[in-house]
Amino acid sequence: MSSLNSTLPQNVSFVRPQFFYINGFSNIPYVKYYYIFLCIVLTVTILGNSFIMFIIYIEQSLHTPKYVVVFHLAVVDMCGSTALIPKMIETFLFDSQLISYEGCLANMFFVHSFTFMQSLTLLALAYDRFVAICFPLKYHIIITTAGMGKILAGIWILASGVVIAAVGFTTRLSFCKSIVINSYFCDHGPIYRMSCNDNFPNYVIAQIGITILLAAPLTLILSTYVCIILALLKIASEEERIKAMKTCTSHLILVAMFYLPISAIYIAANITSIDPNTRIISTSLSSTISPMMNPIIYTMKTEEVMKAVRKLCKRNKIIKPRRNQ
């Protein structure tokens, strides 16, 4: 790594390197098995999310605003995983840790954009559950397919806009000391911190991104569930309470899987110093396992999806004997 850093020109006011070196894990034995595991994760993620998208597409009963958002979550999960995992496998499993400057900026944009979109999509699902339980009589007036389409369009604009700003500010940074990124992808934080010139705009946009696209959605999601719990307490029948809460189970699991690891790492990093390997494995797992598990949870834990799956299985059983005849 020191030899890589020594290739940087000295006594130059502004340096834009031709490439970066993604450091990844250091001194971990058998680490290549982890990347083989990620190959399996990517395969399951693509198959699972494709399946949930297929079910929603062919089943008319799932053509509702809620499942428009679930479909969108599956798209975001699949895009996010394909933006991150194949590049990780190429980088570390095949020892290709050098990445061009332009390729690094593209990697930064796609990975961060889809992570933020996942966060905002979970907020959109929380909004749907909030209206469904707190304002059931007005649900079909407030929650419409067109309205959800506008919310999802806003998610793309907001997430992409913030990350484009982060990438734009990164292009004005000079790297005269190091080109070694202590992360598993072209992570904005480690990159702007190793610059030689003023990186305060990058710090500001990073804090804006964390606040608006991660912390604020989590706070709003928790607030909606406080309102949901208060609304459920007003329902006299315990059976109705349980039935209403079951409609939130899948979403609550997804929220916990996505936000808990990110929150834990962020809080720990601000309290004490974290070993780089611990940070990398925690953040990489939270970025890859959640997209893999989302379609499985929605299939297993959501009654409407299970009904659609059973209907599809019955339809296939009927069609097969007819073909044999």
Taken in order of first residue, the domains within the chain and their CATH numbers are 19-302 (1.20.1070.10)
**pTM for this prediction:** 0.92
List, for residues 73-99, the tens digit of each pLDDT value.
999 999 999 999 999 999 998 889 999
List, for residues 51-66, the tens digit of each pLDDT value.
999 999 999 999 999 9
Alpha helices by DSSP H, listed for 14-100, are 32-58, 65-88
Please give the full DSSP string across 251-274, using - where no structure is assigned: HHHHHHHHHHHHHHHHHHHHHS--
Helix (H) or strand (E) holding 21: strand 19-22
The CB density around residue 61, as the number of other CB atoms within 10 Å, is 12
What pLDDT is recorded for position 229?
93
Angle between helices 101-134 and 65-88 (to 10 degrees): 150
What pLDDT is recorded for position 31?
87
Mean pLDDT of 227-251: 87
Helix (H) or strand (E) holding 168: helix 145-170
Q: Classify burial at 91, counting beta carbons within 10 Å of its beta carbon; exposed 0-12, middle 13-18, buried 19 or more.
A: buried
Confidence at 68, pLDDT banded by 50, 70, 90? very high
Give dist(CA 17, CA 270) in Å, integer: 30
Residue 31 DSSP one-character state: T
Average pLDDT of the chain is 90
Give dist(CA 12, CA 2) in Å, integer: 19
Evaluate if residue 324 carries a pLDDT over 60: no
What pLDDT is recorded for position 7?
56
Question: Who's near 244: CB < 8 A, 6+ residues apart?
Answer: 133, 232, 235
